[in-house]
């Protein structure tokens, strides 16, 4: 069953999302060659708790980190540790924040310094596939429209959608119905309705779509060792169109509430 949220509840998820994207901004600035993923994790936990929120991933099924930090061929669920970033890496950072009982979830893959042309293309295709998917988040569309949008973009750019990892509904729980595959047929699946909140997260391999589990039973890698990318938004379906609750693509100035319009003079 897909739970629908009220406008007030969407505002609460957006408040968690605001902390989350400020955390992403801090980590983006810190993610430089020589910095370890553990250092990023510590900075994230400190910041999230300083805002009166909690890191959603910490302790989830025993996960030890506050963020997932997944470099290069690691797709998702990387446990932060001693790995020191190197120039030319891709680093996927996934963050979950709980505020007042509501969860927001969002991921970005960053280039560390200058990366190869194929890595740059992988990042832009994966990022664009997320925006294509968001465009489908309208009442009356179907979940398959969202999934198909990701697949269409990724495959048209020559990359592979990972089949065995999916996005999810989100709200009071980090993982709610529905599961959101990054591939599918338009016009299929549940109808999207106002108040549904989806964590849409394209996970894309530069090589084939197969993945393997790491020895820590958390990290997931591309099986062929190819580079991977991962971008995620928490987005709500509203009558006015998609409402991105974790708008990491906007600058702080653009996220600020619009200034009151000057009263027009008669």
Minimum CB–partner distance for residue 147 and Mg ion (Å)? 15
What whole-number distance in Å separates Cα of residue 193 and Cα of residue 142?
9
Q: Would you say 115 or 170 has its CB closer to Mg ion? A: 170
Minimum CB–partner distance for residue 266 and Mg ion (Å)? 51
Minimum CB–partner distance for residue 229 and Mg ion (Å)? 15
Minimum CB–partner distance for residue 107 and Mg ion (Å)? 7
Q: Would you say 105 or 132 has its CB closer to Mg ion? A: 105
Buried b (16+ CB within 10 A) or exposed e, 4-34: ebeeebbebbbbbbbbbbbbbebbeeebeee
What whole-number distance in Å separates Cα of residue 193 and Cα of residue 139?
5
What whole-number distance in Å separates Cα of residue 36 and Cα of residue 65?
13
Minimum CB–partner distance for residue 179 and Mg ion (Å)? 11
Other CB atoms within 10 Å distance of the CB of residue 158? 11
Which residues contact Mg ion (rule: CB under 5 A)? 105, 199
Q: Would you say 57 or 115 has its CB closer to Mg ion? A: 57
Q: Would you say 105 or 176 has its CB closer to Mg ion? A: 105
Which alpha helices (H) appear in the chain, and where do they start and end?
A: 7-30, 37-50, 117-135, 143-156, 252-255
Q: Would you say 115 or 192 has its CB closer to Mg ion? A: 192
For the chain, how far is it from start to end, CA to CA, in angstroms?
52
What whole-number distance in Å separates Cα of residue 223 and Cα of residue 211?
4
Query: What is residue 44's three-state secondary structure?
Result: helix
Minimum CB–partner distance for residue 168 and Mg ion (Å)? 6
Q: Would you say 116 or 179 has its CB closer to Mg ion? A: 179
């Amino acid at each position: 069953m897909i739970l629908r949220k009220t406008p007030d509840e969407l505002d609460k998820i957006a408040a968690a999302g605001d902390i989350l994207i400020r955390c992403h901004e801090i980590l983006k600035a810190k993610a430089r060659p020589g910095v370890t993923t553990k250092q990023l994790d510590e900075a994230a936990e400190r910041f999230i708790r300083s805002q009166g929120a909690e890191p959603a991933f910490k302790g989830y099924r025993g996960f030890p980190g506050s963020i997932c930090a997944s470099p290069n061929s690691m797709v998702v669920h990387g446990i932060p540790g001693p790995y020191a970033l190197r120039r030319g890496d891709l680093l996927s950072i996934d963050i979950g924040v709980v505020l007042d009982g509501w969860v927001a979830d969002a991921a970005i893959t960053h280039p560390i310094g200058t990366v190869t042309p194929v890595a740059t293309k992988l990042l832009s295709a994966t990022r664009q596939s997320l925006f294509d998917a968001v465009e489908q988040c309208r009442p009356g569309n179907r979940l398959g429209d969202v999934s198909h949008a990701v697949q269409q973009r990724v495959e048209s750019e020559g990359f592979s959608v990972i089949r065995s990892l999916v996005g999810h509904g989100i709200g009071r729980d980090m993982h709610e119905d529905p599961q959101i595959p990054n591939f599918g047929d338009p016009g299929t699946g549940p109808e999207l309705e106002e108040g549904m909140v989806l964590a849409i997260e394209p996970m894309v391999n530069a090589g084939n779509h197969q993945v393997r589990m790491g020895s820590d039973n958390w990290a997931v890698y591309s099986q062929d060792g190819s580079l991977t990318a991962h971008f995620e938004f928490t987005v709500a379906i509203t009558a006015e169109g998609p409402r991105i609750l974790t708008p990491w693509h906007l600058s702080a100035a653009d996220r600020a509430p619009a200034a009151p319009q000057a009263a027009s003079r008669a």
